[in-house]
Every structure is written in C-alpha cells, then in structure tokens.
Amino acid sequence: MTKDIATLGRTREILEKYGFSFKKSLGQNFLIDTNILRRIVDYAELSDETGVIEIGPGIGALTEQLARRARKVVAFEIDQRLLPILADTLFPYPNVRIIHQDVLKADIRRVMEEEFSSVRDVMVVANLPYYVTTPIIMKLLEDHLPIRGIVVMLQKEVADRISAQPGTKDYGSLSIAVQYYTKAETVMTVPRTVFIPQPNVDSAVIRLTKREKPAVDVIDESFFFQVVRASFSQRRKTILNNLTSQLPNGKQQKEAIERVLTELQIDSRRRGETLTIEEFAKLSNRLVKEWKEKA
C-alpha cells in the first residue's frame, strides 16, 4: 500500500515539491492525522457499492482514504494549483476523478448520473472549507440529490448550530433547515493542532442522514423557511414582533398572526429559539392560508 498522505512529513514533502503556498481566501487547512481521517471514513459507512462526492480534496489526504474503501470518488476542487499535485498523489487510485469546478456552481445531479451509474449508494464526505460550509450543505440538501447522507468536517461552532435542539443558544434557522432534511449528529471533535496551517478554531465532524421525507409536513416549503428565518431575525424579540416586522405585509397581518398563535396555543411572547420544528410547521401551515387569502 502506498504511504499515507496525511502525515506531517509527507505533507511537507508534497508542498515543498510543488512550491505550494496556502491561500487564506480558500480556507485551506490540510489534515495531518491519518487516524482522524480513517474515523471520518468509518462514520460514512462505505462499501464497494458506494460512490463518494468529496468537496475540496486539497492534496488528497482524505481522498485516498475514501478511494481505498469506496467504489468511486468524485472530488470537486476549485484551486487550479492543486490539480497537478492531486494527479501525482492520487495516481495509485484509478477510481478517483477530480473535477476542477466550484461545487456551488456545479450541476451535481448530472455529475452523479454520469459518474455513478454503477453504484447503489452515494455519500458526501469532505473536509469543508470554513468560509463556505453553510452554502455548500444547503445546496446539497436543497438540490434534493439522491444521496444517503453527508459526513463533513467543519468549524465546531457551525456543527453545534446544525445539531442544536430548541431552547439552546445554538438553535436557529440553520438547525431547523438542516434537521428538516436530515437527522443531524456531531460524531467527533477535532483539535486545531492536527492541521497545517493551524486554523484559529476547533473543528467537528457531523453526520447528516437523509430522511426519506422531511421531518414535518408543510404546505409551502419556501414560506415555512420564511417564517423560520423571520422568527430568528432578532433573537431577543418575541415571535410576534419578529413575524410582524419581518414577514412581507406582516404589519398589516398582525391581528391574523396573533389569532393564529392563540389558536395554536403558542404564547406570542415566546422567542423563536423555544419553538420546535413541529410548532414552526403548524404555524407556517396556518399562516400561509392567511397570506394566500390576502394575496
């Protein structure tokens, strides 16, 4: 078996060979702990029937661990300078394909159709660049891709927000958006000392298992998320104040909002962070009817 990429010595050797310098704007921090990478791969529960989408492979440290366990790995890399490095480090793995593209602009569904015709199961596994973590996760979920789930390393603070429960300081619109589509769990924390260069924050690995259907039934998905975002827009304000000030025509609809809250037995003085996803679903389903009647 080839020598692991994710050691300090091998990583330095590769960086020196290519004269590679880190770009802060791309959030480049390379992992130098093989055990942590293997654990990440374990959490993804891969088999020789699995296709993997990776985002931001860097110099290929996680990619090679994935390639050893999955049938095929397709990795999106935005930094052109890394392409010759990846061609070199991943040469022993013919089941890897690198796509030079910004994943946020990619047609991932089309790529999956082209690359994964022979696999039964698809997972997303990645060490995500911190500066675009949330947009990438939301794209993967909102595109309704035929994937089993997502295992990603990201900033611990964002992982805490994604897996947060009602009534906690981390709970917010991101928690609800991700938990609407998936079952979310933080499976491990990762210290900053196992990266070069060292980031300023600790990391965590989250596992998102895609639900067969969303966590709650909503009449209008986009209005549901509008209600959720409005409810958290100013965390210190009550649910009534936030909905009135943030929903379109909310001020004109204040009486209707108050009436619906009363009917649902939701105290109008509560704050958004205390409402469960089920309460948000009931609230949006009742409010959307009011909005449509006045439209």
CATH number at residue 226: 1.10.8.100
Q: Strand, helix or coil at 147? A: coil
Look at residue 244 and tell me if it is in a domain: yes
118 and 263 in a single domain? The answer is no
**Any binding-site annotation on 90?**
no
Determine the Cα–Cα distance for residues 187 and 206; give it in Å rounded to an integer.
6
Picking from 150, 175, 210, the residue at the C-terminal end of a domain is 210
Q: Residue 203 in contact with residue 34, Cβ under 8 Å?
A: no
Look at residue 215 and tell me if it is in a domain: no
Picking from 185, 210, 235, the residue at the C-terminal end of a domain is 210
For residue 103, what pLDDT is reported? 95
Residue entry with tokens 């439209």? 295
Look at residue 93 and tell me if it is in a domain: yes
226 and 201 in a single domain? The answer is no
113 and 177 in a single domain? The answer is yes
What is the domain extent for residue 57?
Answer: 8-210
What CATH number is attached to the domain comprising 53?
3.40.50.150
102 and 236 in a single domain? The answer is no
114 and 244 in a single domain? The answer is no
Picking from 169, 191, 210, the residue at the C-terminal end of a domain is 210
Look at residue 159 and tell me if it is in a domain: yes
Determine the Cα–Cα distance for residues 10 and 34; give it in Å rounded to an integer.
11
**Any binding-site annotation on 64?**
no
Q: How many domains does the chain have?
A: 2
**Any binding-site annotation on 77?**
yes
Look at residue 62 and tell me if it is in a domain: yes
Q: Sheet holding 121-127: strands in order across? A: 96-100, 72-77, 50-55, 121-127, 149-155, 203-210, 182-190
**Any binding-site annotation on 267?**
no
The backbone torsions φ and ψ at residue 215, rounded to the nearest 5 degrees and listed phi first, read: -60, -30
136 and 95 in a single domain? The answer is yes
For residue 129, what pLDDT is reported? 82
**Any binding-site annotation on 35?**
no
**Any binding-site annotation on 49?**
no
110 and 255 in a single domain? The answer is no
Look at residue 32 and tell me if it is in a domain: yes
In order, the DSSP letters of 151-191 are: EEEEEHHHHHHHT--TTSTT-SHHHHHHHHHEEEEEEEEE-
Look at residue 98 and tell me if it is in a domain: yes
136 and 106 in a single domain? The answer is yes
For residue 235, what pLDDT is reported? 82
Look at residue 1 and tell me if it is in a domain: no
73 and 196 in a single domain? The answer is yes
289 and 265 in a single domain? The answer is yes
pLDDT in 10s for each residue of the chain, 295 residues: 578 999 999 999 999 999 988 777 666 788 999 999 999 999 999 999 999 999 999 999 999 999 999 999 999 999 999 999 999 999 999 999 999 999 999 999 999 999 999 898 999 999 988 888 999 999 999 999 999 999 999 999 999 999 999 999 999 999 999 999 999 999 999 999 999 888 888 999 999 999 999 999 999 999 999 999 999 998 889 999 999 999 888 788 888 899 999 999 999 999 999 999 999 999 999 999 887 776 5
172 and 230 in a single domain? The answer is no
120 and 247 in a single domain? The answer is no
